[in-house]
């Protein structure tokens, strides 16, 4: 279990808790996270402007992993989708692959297609496994009712291989249940966080995320579990702005990365898990866990 860790842009500049908790928890299960010199943006933001630039930038990161003989582990859902799509395109289009490799050759790089692209929930569920996770816990999260939020890019489009089923995803629920919590299904489970609209139409974006948060709060959930930095940013960091847009000061839902909850259940220090960077009201959940 040795992977080229790919953090992308958002995690390194804003979502420090995700990186910290991943680095703190995964190695305890024998996962080796390799930092690769030269990684750059996945290129996804350029997709609507210049398709070849997007493919090239993503392929460049894939080629760096190819050169090391390592599978990639992008923590960001968007980066994972970008890499999965570009890998699919390059593996099915020899002419595109030739053109991209022609540009990559300037740096002495080559996309060979040998490296895979893994998602965090795949590594946790398939490589580590829920039984090993259960065995690592020093406390249980029993009594906590938690809502799993997968994020659109983790499950769509189903035309290429995704980590979980587009209509009935369950892996994150299974992983959350392994911590002892109640991972309860809910009607809004597949609803989008609205992050893709936050620049062009922030009001609509905040309404999308706010309606989901309100629904979870009304259904009695103690908190939300995320595995995507963009989704986490919307539900956690933007909760204050969402309250303003919705005119609902009672909105108050804790939001955690799965790796943070995993670390807490393993008895790890909150500071090392980056929980101090969470901006949603996580204190109530932390108090409940402390008393378990």
Are residues 250 and 144 both part of a single domain?
A: yes
Confirm whether 264 is domain-assigned: yes
Beta strand residue intervals within the chain, DSSP E: 2-6, 32-35, 71-74, 145-149, 182-183, 223-226, 255-257
pLDDT at residue number 290? 86
Are residues 47 and 144 both part of a single domain?
A: no
Residue 157, preceding peptide bond in cis (omega within 30° of 0): yes
Residue (of 22, 19, 25) closest to 268 by Cα position:
25
Query: Per-residue pLDDT tens for 56-80?
Result: 999 999 999 999 999 999 999 999 9
What whole-number distance in Å separates Cα of residue 192 and Cα of residue 163?
17
Q: What is the CATH number of the domain that holds 81?
A: 1.20.1050.140
Are residues 22 and 71 both part of a single domain?
A: yes
Are residues 229 and 146 both part of a single domain?
A: yes
pLDDT at residue number 273? 98
Q: Which of these ranges, 37-46, 174-183, 218-227, 272-281, has the smallest mean pLDDT? A: 37-46
Structural domain boundaries enclosing 63: 2-107
Torsion over CA of 47, 9, 146 and 250, rounded to 10 degrees? Answer: -90
Tell me the mean pLDDT in the region 69-97: 97
Confirm whether 192 is domain-assigned: yes
Are residues 23 and 155 both part of a single domain?
A: no
Query: Per-residue pLDDT tens for 36-58?
Result: 999 999 998 898 899 999 999 99
Reply yes or no on whether the pLDDT at 101 is more than 80.
Answer: yes
Residue (of 84, 83, 81, 77) closest to 10 by Cα position:
77
Of 33 and 158, more confident: 33
Number of domains in the chain: 2
Residue 275: CB partners within 8 Å, gap ≥ 6? 17, 21, 256, 260, 264, 282, 286
Cα 58 to Cα 39, 52, 95, 100: the distances in Å are 10, 10, 17, 10
Are residues 242 and 154 both part of a single domain?
A: yes
Confirm whether 115 is domain-assigned: no
Are residues 182 and 65 both part of a single domain?
A: no
Confirm whether 112 is domain-assigned: no
Are residues 83 and 147 both part of a single domain?
A: no
Residue (of 190, 184, 186, 195) closest to 164 by Cα position:
190
Give the pTM. 0.97
């Amino acid at each position: 279990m040795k992977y080229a860790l790919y953090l992308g842009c958002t995690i390194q500049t804003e979502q420090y808790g995700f990186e910290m908790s991943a680095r703190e928890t995964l190695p305890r299960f024998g996962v080796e996270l390799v930092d690769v010199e030269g990684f750059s943006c996945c290129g996804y933001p350029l997709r609507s402007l210049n398709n070849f630039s997007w493919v090239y930038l993503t392929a460049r990161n894939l080629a760096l992993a190819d050169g090391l003989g390592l599978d990639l582990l992008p923590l960001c859902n968007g980066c994972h989708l970008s890499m999965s799509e570009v890998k699919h395109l390059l593996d099915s289009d020899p002419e595109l692959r030739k053109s991209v490799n022609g540009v990559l050759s300037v740096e002495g790089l080559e996309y060979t297609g040998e490296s895979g692209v893994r998602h965090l929930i795949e590594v946790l569920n398939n490589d580590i496994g829920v039984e090993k996770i259960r065995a690592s816990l020093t406390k249980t999260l029993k009594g906590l009712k938690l809502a799993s939020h997968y994020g659109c890019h983790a499950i769509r489009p189903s035309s290429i291989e995704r980590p979980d089923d587009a209509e009935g995803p369950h892996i994150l629920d299974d992983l959350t249940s392994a911590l002892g919590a109640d991972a309860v299904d809910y009607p809004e489970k597949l609803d989008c966080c609205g992050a893709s609209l936050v620049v062009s139409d922030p009001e609509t974006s905040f309404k999308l995320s706010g309606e989901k948060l309100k629904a979870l709060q009304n259904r009695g959930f103690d908190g939300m579990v995320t595995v995507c930095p963009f989704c986490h940013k919307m539900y956690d960091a933007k909760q204050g702005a969402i309250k303003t847009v919705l005119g609902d000061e009672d909105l108050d839902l804790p939001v955690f990365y799965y790796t943070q909850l995993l670390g807490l259940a393993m008895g790890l220090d909150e500071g090392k898990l980056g929980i101090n960077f969470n901006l949603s009201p996580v204190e109530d959940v932390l108090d409940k866990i402390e008393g378990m």
